[in-house]
Amino acid sequence: MNPNLHIYNTPEDTARAVAELILAKAKGKVKQSLPLNIALSGGSTPKLLFNLLASEYVDSIPWHFVRLFWVDERCVPPTHAESNYGMTYENLLKSVPIHDANVFPIQGETDPEKEAQRYQNTLRTQLPSSNGLPKFDLVLLGMGDDGHTASIFPNKLSLLHSDQLVAVSVHPVSNQKRITITGQLIDHADEVIFLITGASKANVLKQIIHREPNFEKYPASYIHAQSVPAHFFLDQAAAGKL
């Protein structure tokens, strides 16, 4: 079986495996007296993980070493039901002792183009740099039913190779504007993991993992960290056709 596939019985088991990975990485950083810089995705899948981190792992994770960024954000206020920051606050941030100074939201309520520039500047000043690019320790990605990841959609594959580190994107169905980090920045991370659960992802995941015809149309198929394949944390439902 592909060593980059980590398959668990339930969404809860899958989320717990990712929580354990985050805990291990954080402990490793503590030994180096360095922060753990994580970029989080939004949507619904991470909620289980966030709730675990805010409950079972609230005392074991060294939160004062954790710095949180976002992979993408919907261009809505943080109080909006679709805000990734808002979802993260409700499921994680309000319940863990992380300092506000270590949380770097994308401001969905401001002008998208200006915010893309502001957030890019924030990443450049707040993250360590290598080869001239800001470097996350870990990027946590989800995948949509259409194979998008971050807010890089199939109709805008150019964002995978954009010179911009942060760009304005548009959801192809809702036309909702998004702010997203681009493929160049994702691939520059030390580690990239996908957390994907549910049967609705199984067909696309099969095409991506097995490089079936047309797999290139899915943005998630292009993602790898530092030319190292991304690791996929999957429940049985999402992995059901592999």
Which chain residues interact with ligand 6PG by CB under 6 A? Answer: 41-45, 71-72, 84, 142-144, 148-151
Query: In this complex, which beta carbon is closest to ligand 6PG, that of residue 44 or of residue 60?
Result: 44
Residue 149, strand partner residues: 152
**Residue the block writes with tokens 């981190």:** 53
Query: In this complex, which beta carbon is closest to ligand 6PG, that of residue 45 or of residue 207?
Result: 45
Query: In this complex, which beta carbon is closest to ligand 6PG, that of residue 25 or of residue 148?
Result: 148
- Contact present, 42 and 72 (Cβ < 8 Å): yes
The CB-nearest residue to ligand 6PG is 142
How many C-alpha atoms does 171 have within 13 Å on its Cβ side?
13
Query: In this complex, which beta carbon is closest to ligand 6PG, that of residue 73 or of residue 137?
Result: 73
CB of 152 to ligand 6PG, least distance (A): 8
- Contact present, 182 and 164 (Cβ < 8 Å): yes
**Residue the block writes with tokens 């309000």:** 94
CB of 6 to ligand 6PG, least distance (A): 17
**Residue the block writes with tokens 């959609």:** 153
Whole-angstrom distance, CA of residue 130 vs CA of residue 112? 27
Kindly compute the dihedral angle of the four CA atoms of residues 29, 4, 40, 59, in this order, to the nearest 10 degrees.
-50
Query: In this complex, which beta carbon is closest to ligand 6PG, that of residue 61 or of residue 143?
Result: 143
What are the distances in angstroms from CA 49 to CA 18, 72, 140? 7, 17, 11
CB of 122 to ligand 6PG, least distance (A): 18
CB of 169 to ligand 6PG, least distance (A): 10
CB of 91 to ligand 6PG, least distance (A): 12
